[in-house]
Amino acid sequence: MHISSEEEDSPSQLNDALADRAVVYRSLRVDAELLVTVNGRFDGSVAPRAYEDAAQALDDGVTDIVIDLSDADEIDEGAVAVLCALAITATKRGGKMFLWLSASEPMQILDPSEVREALDAG
């Protein structure tokens, strides 16, 4: 079993522009799955990091990407655009992307249009 974990507490490590709000970003890889969790605001300054981690994980053989936003206070349009791009990337590379938005089961995203539907429903 391969397990790797990376944690960053913002504001200082992600982006100085986040200095007025607390954001916790974590990524955890277990075998063929990558779990990315964001607590706080998930926006265009945080989302690219999730994309980069997921794209690298897909290159390294991960097949399932789970983005846990159940504790995200706010999700802006920049983050939505990044999630759509990640859905496309995961599909093209033979992976699957899931969004976890509440206490329910993660929702598999097969098409970028489903990102907005999932966020509106969640």
* Residues making up the chain, counted from first to last: 122
d(CA 31, CA 11): 30
The per-residue pLDDT for 12 is 40
3-state SS record for the chain: CCEEEEEEEECCCCCHHHCCCCEEEEEEEECCEEEEEEEEEECCCCHHHHHHHHHHHHHCCCCEEEEECCCEEEECHHHHHHHHHHHHHHHHCCCEEEEECCCCCCEEECCCHHHHHHHHHC
- Phi and psi, residue 42, nearest 5°: -105, 105
Q: Which residues pair with 107 in a beta bridge?
A: 99
Work out the end-to-end distance of the chain between its first and last CA atoms, rounded to an integer number of angstroms: 32
- The amino acid sitting at 34 is L
The per-residue pLDDT for 9 is 45
Place of tokens 């598999």: 108
The rounded average pLDDT for each run of 10 residues, N- to C-terminus, in the chain (122 residues) is 42 44 85 94 92 96 95 93 96 95 83 86 74
The per-residue pLDDT for 103 is 67
